[in-house]
Structure formats: C-alpha cells, structure tokens
Structure 1
C-alpha cells in the first residue's frame, strides 16, 4: 500500500508518499489548483504511484484541497498539520505554521488538537508578505533572510501589506541600506507571528512549520520575541502533507 498526502497551498503544493514507497516533492500551485493536481497525479505515476489504484489511498488538505478530485478523504489543514507536526516533534507540541496565505498556531496535547488560532484575512504576517517585499528589493526570500541577518532593524509599522510596501519604497528612496530594510521586513513578520502565538498557551515544545521552517535565523527571532525556544524543522514545509499521508494510513487501518 501507498499513502499519499497532498497539501495544496496558496503558493506551493506539497506531496508526501508513505508506505511501500517513500517520496516527497513540491510544485508551485500556480493560478489553477486543478491543473496542479493533474501535474501531481502525473508525477506520482512516474514514481510508480497510481492514485487510481486500490493499493493507494489519498488524503488532501490545504487551501485548494477540494480540487483534488481523486482524493479518498479531504481533511482540514489544522488536523493534518497537527498530525504531521506531532510526528515531527515526536510527541505533544505547539506548532507555528507560517504559510503563504495564513499563519496558524496549533496546540497539540495528548496527541490531539487542544487549541488553535489563525490570523485574520491579511497577508502581512505570512510568507506572501515576505515574497512581495523580497520582490520589491530584487532578491529571493532566502537572500532576504541573509540580508536581514547583516542589517539593523528599521521599523515597518503598517499592518497592511500595501501600505507596508509603500514604507519600503520610501526607505529605498531615502537611500536606506537594503540590509536594514530587509531586517525591518523580517522583524515585522516575526512581530505579527508572535502576537498570534501569544494568544495561546504554547507549552514546552514549539516547532516552526511551513515554508520558513528551515530558517535558523527566523526561528531565532521568534525564540527571542517569545522568550521561548522555537525549533526549526528541516521537513517542516511538508508537515501538512505528511500529516495527511499518516491520516490516510490510519483511516485504512481502522477499516481492517
């Protein structure tokens, strides 16, 4: 048997295969989740995983989960991220997930979701904000972090991405160093993530998932602001898809 978890995010789509095969990959979601799902199906087939076979079970999650018309089950992001995060952490934990469209804080206790919080419908505290600001500065997100690490924070005060971009444009016009602007941008996102996280009792173990989860620099900033260690996770970008794959297996096992 193969168990496939598919997390269709607003920016990237993550896929994890557990079972006879062990695979994972990521594709840009693009403008059409439907088209992305077809690409995922074809890529899996190239790997020897046929999603139409009785030997394969698929769970879909994420922003575009309803577009996965070949999924056996569709499960919410909160449930899948909690399952994947718990597995990555090796037990109960709190998960901070910074995605392209939203940021989530999930508290897992006794193996279950005990509490969660999501940001408002605004991209100012998400990966999309960083992407927009990185584009404005003419760098990639990884380069933005490298620049930020070498800079001094200057304030990005606006709560709105559009107005924040105007602040960045003004700083560029004033001749501020790109490193300092980058530091201000990353600090602004970290502040919004921390404000969300502080609404919950996080417990002793906190991990970062999502597209920024590999960044030691970003987890360091979050740790300082929360006054609590936030752990980076190399596989954290795939937490939702990983949780979906694990749930696909568990749902199959329950039917036996």
Structure 2
C-alpha cells in the first residue's frame, strides 16, 4: 500500500508518495484555492506514477491549507512533520531550519524526530519566501536566479539593514540608484536573512547537524 503526504503551503503545494523504498514527489503553486490544488495535485501524481487511489493506504495533510483537505486520513502540523521528515532524511539532525513562504521556523528535535522546542516568526513576511519574491521582482529577476547571482558579488559588501519587506525594498532601490550591482545587492539580501535566522538559532541553541529546508534553501550556497 502507498503512503501519501500533502503539504499545502502558502506559496507552493507539495505531494510525496512513498511506495516501499521508492519516493515520488510533485510541486506546484498553491494559487487561490488550497482545496482544489491539494486534490488536483494528489490525483496528478498518482496518474503520473501509474498508481490508483485504491492502492493508497494512508494520507496525511499538513501546511497552511491542511484543513482544506477533507479526503486525508490525518492532519498534522508543519512543525511535527518537519521534525519527523528531517529525522527520516537526515537521522543525525538535531535542528531544522525552515524558511516557508510566509513564516520561518527553527525546530529542535531529538534522535527520533520528536519536537523538543521551536521558535517561529509569523508576524510578517520578513526573511521568508514571499520576501525573496518581492525582492526578485524589484530587481527584475526570477527568484530562481538569486542563488547563482548572489555568488558573483564583485564590490565591497553592502548592507541592507531593514528586514521589513517594504523598507528593504526601498533600500534595494536605493542601492541600485547608487550604482551598486545586482549581485552585491542580492548578496546583501542573503546576509540579512542569514542574520535573522542566526538570531533565532542562537535563542534555541544548536548541538548537532542542521537540516535546512524551504524557500531559502534554493539560495543556501550564497549565504
């Protein structure tokens, strides 16, 4: 029997199908209807992989839109799923850093993936995937380009002080007006996010390997 996990996030929806030792996944934008995208993504991945709903033994829903999935067997919080998932993929991990579309989390877990403590920033979009989307649009880029370009910093490092999306956007526009190249500006954005996450990590403590996942993992090498 198959096990299916559906994560309906604020920006993207992810579906994973486990069939013994085979794992398949699908990622697509969430859009305006969490219920519809969750259902469509579920059937899409089954059809793509050659499975039928009758072969599915259990479905777990999580994420921002998890309550919009009436066909799942169980609904679990993102934080619990992060802990178990990190332990499954990286058994030695003791800390999970998750940069979501609209919030960021630092989660301490034990050897079995159970959550011991966590800190979450959900007050604003600062340092999240949405933050990077806005900054990419301001720079006239696709968000997928930020990682590669951020490694090409040529000038002396510049600083972006504000983590508020609105004020940081103004700082980016100001840097470009001063002639600062895009690569250096992107690198400054990466550093500002890293500082914010480092402060959260310092509050909760770290004593082992870290699992880094989420939106900013796309640009992890640049930070």
Q: How high is the TM-score relative to the length of structure 2?
A: 0.90
Corresponding residue number in structure 1 for 2:119:
117
* Maintained 8 Å contact 1:10/1:63: yes
Q: CA distance change for structure 1 residues 207 and 175 in 2, over 3 Å: closer, same or farther? A: same
CA contact (8 A) 2:4 2:56 kept: no
- The 8 Å contact of residues 95 and 106 in structure 2, kept in 1 or not, is answered as yes
Segments of structure 1 that go 5 or more residues without pairing to the other structure are 222-256
Q: Corresponding residue for 1:78?
A: 79
Q: Is the 8 A contact 2:136 2:146 kept in 1?
A: yes
Correspondence for 1:198 among 197, 202, 215: 202
Aligned partners of 2:97 and 2:213 also within 8 Å: yes
**C-alpha displacement of 1:49:** 3.6
Q: Which residue of 2 aligns with 1:35?
A: 36
Find the counterpart in structure 2 of residue 229 from structure 1.
Answer: none
Q: How many pairs were matched up?
A: 218
Within 5 Å, give how 1:7-156 maps onto structure 2: 7-19=7-19, 22-46=23-47, 47-51=49-53, 53=54, 55-111=56-112, 112-151=114-153, 152-156=156-160
Mapped contact 2:147–2:220 kept (Cα < 8 A): no
Report if aligned partners of 1:130, 1:186 keep a CA contact under 8 Å in 2: no
> Normalization by structure 1: what TM-score?
0.79
For the residues of structure 2 that align with 1:142 and 1:8, how far apart are their CA atoms? 21
Q: Which residue of the partner structure matches residue 189 of structure 1? A: 193
Whole-angstrom distance in 2 between the partners of 1:75 and 1:120: 18
Determine the C-alpha separation between the residues in 2 that align with 1:167 and 1:216.
Answer: 22
Change (3 A) 1:55 1:25: closer
Higher relative contact order (CA 8 A, sep 6+): 1
Q: Aligned-pair distance for 1:134?
A: 0.9
RMSD: 1.8
Distance (whole Å) between structure 2 residues aligned to residue 49 and residue 117 of structure 1: 38
CA distance in 2, matches of 1:181, 1:107: 32
Runs (4+) off by over 4 Å? none
Contact 1:44 1:50 in 2 (8 A): no
Q: Provide structure 2 residue ranges, at least 5 long, that are not aligned to the other structure.
A: none
| CA positional deviation for 1:50 | 3.9
Per the alignment, do residues 158 and 214 of structure 1 end up closer, same or farther by CA in structure 2, a change over 3 Å counting? closer
Show the counterpart of 2:174: 170
| Compared CA separation, residues 7 and 131, structure 1 to 2 (3 A) | same
Q: How far 1:5 moved relative to its partner?
A: 0.5
